[in-house]
Each structure stands twice: as C-alpha cells, then as structure tokens.
C-alpha cells in the first residue's frame, strides 16, 4: 500500500471514528443521562452538561426557523461536507488529511442530528463563573474547530517554511531532502 493511500485511509477512518463517537455520546446524553428531561448536570465547578437544541450553525448563526431553512441548512452543510471529502481525498500529507478528517467527521455528526431531529444536540458547557468563553457545544463542534485550527496552522506554517526555503536559495526538491 502506498503512503498516500495509507494516509487517506487513516483520514477516512478518523472521520468515521469522530462521527461514531459523537453519535454514541449524543445517544447517551439523550437516553442514558436523560439530559433533555434534567436540563443540567453539574460535573465540575467549570463544566456542566446542559441540554441545548441548536437550530443554527456555527456560533448559532443562520438559525433554521422553518422547515425550508432546516432543509436548506442540511443541504448547504452536506455540500460543504462533500467539498471537504473531495479535498481530503486529494491531499497527500497526513497532517492536512487529519485536519480535514476531523472537520468531516464533525460535520457528518451534526448533519445527522439536523436531518433526523431538526436541530443539533449540544451539551458541553465550559464556564468560569458566569463567563462562558464558548457557546455550549458537542464533540462534533470540537472536532470541527480543532480540524480548522490544524488546517489553518499548517497552511500558515507550511507556506512560511516554503518561502523561507526559497529565500535561503533552496529549490523545492532541496527543501524536501533537508526535512
């Protein structure tokens, strides 16, 4: 098996793994812990499980207030997931593939919620007193955020290292040999 194929298979496995973990945790939040009925479960002074139905997307924007907007959000997020899938399957470097896989796995988890329920189940509430640095989120949201940070960091640092190599007089082939 070629290294590129191996990297892509790892990415697909990670995406499905994130999707599975996200759905497993949401199932337990809903049915084992019955968080919808309880509302809040205090775990730590700075972290609670808090039932939230998120009818919007990132940061609660673009809230689906009707069946039409719900299905539009499903369609738009599915289209984005398709683009991420194609992008991931075209990449060769494991670091880029892993970032995209995190985004894809998280997106699939949230798409499934929105498709089946009409909203995304959010439950993780990180807070310091009344200060909440994040909105209430779930594993899928965390995976998407981490994936985006990885992609941005790799794009920024990889681009800068390639520019530095060219400034040092190294050709792209010379730079690859030195790494």
Confidence of residue 179 (pLDDT cuts 50, 70, 90): very low
- Measure the CA–CA gap between 156 and 152, rounded to whole angstroms: 6
Options 42, 122, 125, 168, the catalytic residue: 122
| Phi, psi dihedrals of residue 121, rounded to the nearest 5° | -80, 120
Q: CA 92, CA 89: separation in Å to the nearest integer?
A: 8
The active-site residue, picked from 141, 164, 165, 174, is 141
pLDDT tens column, 91-101: 999 999 999 99
- Residue 174 located in a structural domain: no
Do β-strands 120-126 and 40-44 pair in parallel, antiparallel, or remain unpaired?
A: unpaired
pTM of the model: 0.86
CB proximity list for 111: less than 8 A, separation 6 or greater: 74, 77, 78, 81
What domain range includes position 132? 3-165
Residue 112 burial (CB count, 10 A): 17
Does residue 8 sit within a domain?
yes
Q: Is 37 a catalytic residue?
A: no
Predicted pLDDT at 178: 46
- H/E segment holding residue 43: strand 40-44
Going by pLDDT thresholds of 50, 70 and 90, the confidence category of residue 57 is confident
Any domain includes 118 = yes
Q: DSSP character for 173? A: H
Calculate the average pLDDT of the chain. 90
Domain annotation covers residue 31: yes
Question: Is residue 175 in some structural domain?
Answer: no
Asked if residue 172 belongs to a domain, the reply is no
| Token pair belonging to 123 | 């439950």
- Cβ atoms within 10 Å of 135's Cβ, excluding its own: 16
| Residue whose pair of structure tokens reads 């796995």 in the numeric block | 105
Q: Which tokens hold the place of 125?
A: 């509430």
| C-alpha radius of gyration, the chain, whole number | 19
pLDDT above 70: percentage of residues in the chain:
86
Can 141 be counted among the known catalytic residues? yes
pLDDT score recorded for residue 6: 97
What pLDDT is attached to residue 81? 98
How far apart (Å, rounded) are the C-alpha atoms in residues 13 and 155? 23
Which of the two residues, 67 and 57, has the higher pLDDT score? 67
Count the domains in the chain.
1
The C-alpha angle with vertex 43 and arms to 14 and 111, in degrees rounded to 5, equals: 35
User: Is 153 among the domain residues?
Assistant: yes
């Amino acid at each position: 098996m070629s290294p590129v194929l191996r990297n892509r298979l790892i990415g697909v496995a990670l995406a499905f793994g994130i999707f599975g973990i996200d759905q497993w945790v949401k199932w337990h939040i809903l049915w084992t812990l019955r968080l919808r009925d309880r509302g809040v479960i205090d775990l730590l002074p700075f972290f609670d499980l808090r039932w939230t139905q998120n009818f919007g997307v990132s940061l609660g924007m673009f809230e689906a207030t009707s069946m039409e907007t719900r299905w539009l959000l499903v369609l738009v997020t599915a289209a984005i997931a398709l683009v991420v899938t194609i992008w991931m399957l075209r990449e060769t470097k494991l670091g880029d593939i892993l970032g995209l896989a995190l985004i894809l796995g998280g997106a699939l988890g949230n798409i499934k919620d929105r498709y089946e329920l009409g909203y995304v189940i959010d439950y993780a509430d990180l807070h310091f007193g009344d200060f909440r640095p994040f909105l209430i989120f779930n594993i899928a949201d965390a995976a998407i955020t981490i994936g985006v940070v990885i992609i941005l960091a790799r794009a920024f640092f990889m681009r800068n290292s390639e520019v530095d190599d060219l400034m040092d007089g190294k050709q792209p082939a010379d730079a690859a040999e030195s790494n």
